[in-house]
Amino acid sequence: MDDNDWLAGRFDESRTHLEAVAYRMLGSASEAEDAVQETWLKLSRSDTRDVGNLGGWLTTVVARVCLDMLRTRRSRREEPLDSKAETPGGGRLEDDLALADATGQALLVVLETLAPAERVAFVLHDMFDLSFEDIAPIVDRTPDAARQLASRARRRVRGAEAPATDLARHRQLVNAFLAASRDGDFERLLAVLSPEVVLRADDPAVRMAAARRRHGAPLLAAEARGAAVVAEAFKGRATAALPAVIDGEAGAVWTAGGQVRAAFVFTIRGDKIAGIEIVTDPGHLAGLDVKID
């Protein structure tokens, strides 16, 4: 048996599981089949000799493929799932999910209301028991932020929104951060940041900052840790940032030409900012549900 035959055999062993993951992500049997086929193509083109857990690798790949499809669907403003959509045949989906009480169109209709990253985090964690450490790189978030995505999705699935008081309190905290940033007040920045705060920036943001260093842009790294480091990065900045609600949580955006060019996604723990993610990738931005104040 050559390597291709061996890979094909292993892939077939995981096909039912991958179809179940893709269907729960996409709500369409035909799109799920497309996602699984794309996963096979990626597997056939990849060197997986050092992959210890091929099943987990395949789950990660199919989830990323589905996330891209959801973001594309959202950016094209497609209509919600047709109520006549069919599940994959054979009844295998229900067996694999072990969630007979949550199957059917009712759940899929609710899932259609979620932002792409929320949907992916919820499905992978609540339905397939992936850890948030494994989910985080799939949705381009920290484990804490991935946990928040799944929590928000869970509330929506159960028909309950986050308490308005929590959102109001978080927005006050973010507004205080933005004001301190604009004023260049280092001490006020420290006051709203957790000592262990983590700042993450995507690749386009890092490159943009590097290109604009001579114009006063801060030096950004893919990751920075600690209140003092993060406060220094934002001191005297955020002059054009606008408060916003991003995926149901307090955040901020920078716009140009009427379009959101950068999003600042906050992770709040208690009464402190524990994480900030700068998102500038157009595909990622398209998947965010942004409401500007």
pLDDT at 85 over 50: no
pLDDT at 176 over 50: yes
The per-residue pLDDT for range 222-259, each reduced to its tens digit, is 889 999 999 999 999 888 899 999 877 899 999 988 89
Six-digit token string for 165? 């008081």
Q: For the chain, give the mean pLDDT.
A: 81
Burial level of 286, CB count in 10 A (0-12/13-18/19+)? middle
**C-alpha dist (Å) from residue 189 to 50, 76, 174, 262, 267:** 44, 39, 10, 21, 15
- CA–CA gap between residue 229 and residue 207 (Å, rounded): 19
| Residue whose token pair is 């920045």 | 189
Percentage of the chain modeled with pLDDT above 90 = 30
8-state DSSP, 27: S
- CA–CA gap between residue 17 and residue 21 (Å, rounded): 6
Angle at 203 between CA 138 and CA 151, to 5 degrees: 35
- CA–CA gap between residue 187 and residue 42 (Å, rounded): 49
The per-residue pLDDT for range 256-285, each reduced to its tens digit, is 888 999 999 998 888 899 999 898 988 778
Total Cβ atoms within 10 A of residue 187: 8
**One-letter amino acid of 4:** N
Contacts of 179 (CB under 8 A, 6+ apart): 188
Domains defined along the chain, listed by start: 3-113 (no CATH), 164-292 (3.10.450.50)
